[in-house]
Amino acid sequence: MRGLVVALGVSMAVVAGPAAASASVDTVPAPKLTWTGCDDGFQCATAEVPLDYDRPSGAKIDLALIKEPATDPAHKIGTLFVNFGGPGASGLQRLRERGKWPWLFSDELRARFDVVSWDPRGIGSSTAVRCFDTLAEQESFFGSFPEMPGDPSGNAAFYAKSKELADRCSAKAGPILEHVSTADTARDLELLRRAVGDAKLTYHGISYGTQLGATYANLFPNRIRAMAFDGTMDFAGNATGHDGSGTSVPLDTRQDVATGISQTFDQFLRLCTEAGPKCAFSSGDPKAKWASITARAKQAPITTDGETWTYSGIINAAADLSDSRGWPDIASLLQRLYDAPRTAAALKAGEPYTSNRTEAFNAIQCSDSDVPTDPAIYSRYAESEDQRVPYFGRIAVLDMMSCAFWPAKAADRYTGPWNRRTSAEILVLNNRFDPSTPLAGARDGAAELARARVFVTEGYGHSSMYVPSTCTEQVKRDYLISGTFPAAGKTCAIDASPFAG
C-alpha cells in the first residue's frame, strides 16, 4: 500500500473530548485474544483493531502482544499493562529482556499480575511504519546519516537527510502513517483492557509511556484502577507547548531537556571524582579534562582504539546518560579520548539501524506534537541553546529534525484537556537527575493532571527501568497492588552508585 499524504500546513485536528472518544470505542467489539506459548514462559497473541477509529468498521490492523502470566494465579489481581517508552520501542522485546529485572518487576508484583506489553501500532511486530523496501536499504540509509551537527557547518547536510527520511516515509509507509497518534494507541489500550476482561485498567508507563498513560487517563477517566508513571513527561508541553509555543519552539527545547542532560552530566563528573580509581576518568580534574577533549575535537576528530570520534559524536556519547549502569563505560571512553595521541584519521561511518524504531519514533512524535516547520528556527535555537547550555543545547533542538518536514498528520491526536478527574489517583515517579525527562517537567506534567502525586528517587539516569532502586520498586508495588501511596516527604535511594564497581 502507499500512503494517504496530507500536505504540510494542514492543521492537526483535536480529539473532540473524552465522552466522544469513549462512545466511539465502546461501539467497537473487543478483540479476541488467543494466547500461545512463545518461549521462556511467555505467551503471545495478536489483536485486530481498527486502523481509523472514525471508521471502526473499515480497515483493520494487527497488534502483537506478549504476556508473562502471574506466578500466583490464585491471588491474581488482574493484568498490568506496560508501555516501555520510546516512542518506537518494541514492547515484546523489552518485556522479554526486562520482565524479570527485580528492581522493575519484583517477584511480588509478578505474582499478582499478568504482565502484558505490546508493540503499539506503527512499531515492530505490529502493523508497522515501514519506510524502506529492504533491510539493506534501511541500513544503508541510516549508516550514511550525518552526525547531529556540532556547529552550523553541518546543518545543511543534517537537515537534508532528515527531510529525506520524512519523504521516504511519506512515499512508502501507507495509510498507517496518519493513524499512529498516541490517542489512537490509547484507544487500542482501552480495547485491550476489555479483551483481557479487567473492569478497570492497571498500567505502568515509562518515559513516553507516561504520555500514553495521561492521554488514556483523560480519554477514559473513569476506567482506571491504578496508573504508575515513571520518568514523566510534561504532557501539554509535549503536545502543544504552553501558551501555544509549539509551532515556534523545538519540542525538546521547550521541555528544557538540555538542562536535564547538563545537570545529569555534572553529577556524572561529581560522582566520578568521588569514586576515585573506580571511575576511569577520575584522575586529575575531570571537568577540565572534559573541556580539553571537546576543545580538541572541535579542531579535528580524535582517534582511539581504531575508532574516530568527532566533536558531535563525543557530545552525543557523553549525553547518553539514561542508564547509569553504563556510566563506567562512558568514563572509560572519555579517558581514552583524553589520552589519545594527536594524529589525523578518516571518519568512521555511523552504525546501521536494524529495526523500525527510528521511523516509528518520528511517525508518532511528529503526529502528536506541534513543531516548527521552518529550518531557520532550528538553526537559530541551535546557536542560542548552545550558548545557554554548553555542549548539550543543540541536542534538544535537532533531535527531532525530521518533524520539521513531516507531511502526514494524525486526524485524531489529543491535545487536552489534561485535568479530567480520574477514578484513581496517579503515582508519578521521577529521578532527581534525569537527562530525558527532567524533574521540573515531571512536576509540570503531574500538576496538569487532576489527581497525581510526585515521588522522587534520589538517583541519576532515566526512570527506574535504568536506575535500580529496590526502594522505589517497593513504592510502585505497594501502589499497584493495594493503592497505597508513600508517606509525604519520603524519598528513595538508588541501590548503588553508578561507579560502585
* Mean pLDDT in residue range 473-495: 96
- H helices present in 79-174, as ranges: 91-98, 107-112, 135-143, 155-172
The separation between the first and the last C-alpha atoms of the chain, rounded to the nearest angstrom, is: 52
Highest mean pLDDT: which range of 238-252, 341-355, 447-461 = 447-461
Cα–Cα dist 83/255, whole Å: 21
Confidence band of 66 (pLDDT split at 50, 70, 90): very high
Preceding omega of 375 cis (within 30 degrees of 0)? no
For the chain, count helices (H), then strands (E): 19, 12
Least confident of 19-33, 260-274, 339-353, 432-446: 339-353
pLDDT, position 134: 87
Q: Using the predicted structure, report yes or no on whether residue 239 has a pLDDT greater than 80.
A: yes
Q: Using the predicted structure, report yes or no on whether residue 4 has a pLDDT greater than 50.
A: no
Here the cell at position 42 is: 511467555
pLDDT, position 348: 38
Confidence band of 2 (pLDDT split at 50, 70, 90): very low
Of 317, 295, 306, 319, give the one whose Cα is nearest residue 348.
Answer: 306
- The residue type of 30 is A
Cα–Cα dist 446/225, whole Å: 18
Least confident of 2-6, 136-140, 370-374, 419-423: 2-6
Find cell 491504578 and name the residue: 226
Here the cell at position 404 is: 520539521
Measured from the Cβ of residue 70, the count of other Cβ atoms closer than 10 Å reads: 20
Q: Using the predicted structure, report yes or no on whether residue 215 has a pLDDT greater than 50.
A: yes
Of 243, 200, 239, 238, give the one whose Cα is nearest residue 220.
Answer: 200
Q: Using the predicted structure, report yes or no on whether residue 236 has a pLDDT greater than 60.
A: yes
* Mean pLDDT in residue range 429-452: 96
Q: What SS3 class is residue 479? A: helix
Here the cell at position 20 is: 466522544
Question: Model confidence over 107-165: pLDDT tens digits?
Answer: 999 999 999 999 999 999 999 999 998 888 998 999 999 999 988 989 999 999 999 99
In order of 293, 337, 436, 480, the CA distances from 224 in angstroms are 50, 50, 27, 11
pLDDT, position 19: 55
Higher-scoring residue by pLDDT: 23, 236: 236
Higher-scoring residue by pLDDT: 242, 442: 442
Confidence band of 97 (pLDDT split at 50, 70, 90): very high
Chain centroid to Cα 173, Å, comes to 21
Percent share of the chain, pLDDT over 70: 93
| Burial tier of 36 (Cβ tally within 10 Å: 0-12, 13-18, 19+) | exposed
Q: Using the predicted structure, report yes or no on whether residue 352 has a pLDDT greater than 90.
A: no
Helix, strand, coil % in the chain, rounded to nearest 5: 45, 15, 40
Q: Name the architecture of domain 21-128+178-241+414-493.
A: 3-Layer(aba) Sandwich (3.40)
pLDDT, position 17: 57
Q: Using the predicted structure, report yes or no on whether residue 417 has a pLDDT greater than 90.
A: yes
What residues does each domain of the chain span? 21-128+178-241+414-493
Chain centroid to Cα 353, Å, comes to 17
- H helices present in 173-301, as ranges: 182-196, 208-219, 235-239, 251-254, 257-275, 286-299
pLDDT, position 21: 62
Confidence band of 409 (pLDDT split at 50, 70, 90): confident
pLDDT, position 449: 97
Cα–Cα dist 355/223, whole Å: 34
Which long-range contacts (C-beta less than 8 Å, at least 24 apart) are formed by 33-37?
A: 33/65, 33/195, 33/196, 35/67
* Mean pLDDT in residue range 40-45: 95
Confidence band of 355 (pLDDT split at 50, 70, 90): confident
pLDDT, position 14: 41
- The residue type of 23 is A
* Mean pLDDT in residue range 336-340: 95
Measured from the Cβ of residue 46, the count of other Cβ atoms closer than 10 Å reads: 16
Annotate 231-242 with b (16+ C-beta within 10 A) or e (fewer). bbbbbbbbbbbe
Find cell 505467551 and name the residue: 43
Asked whether the beta carbons of 43 and 35 are under 8 A apart, the reply is yes
Cα–Cα dist 384/367, whole Å: 27
Question: Model confidence over 296-320: pLDDT tens digits?
Answer: 999 999 999 999 999 999 999 999 9
- Is 0.85 topped by the overall pTM? yes
Q: Which helix (H) or strand (E) element contains residue 477?
A: helix 470-482
Least confident of 132-136, 196-200, 285-289, 369-373: 132-136
Confidence band of 245 (pLDDT split at 50, 70, 90): confident
Find cell 479483551 and name the residue: 195
Q: Helices 286-299 and 257-275, interaxial angle, to 10°?
A: 120
* Mean pLDDT in residue range 411-437: 95
Cα–Cα dist 130/172, whole Å: 7
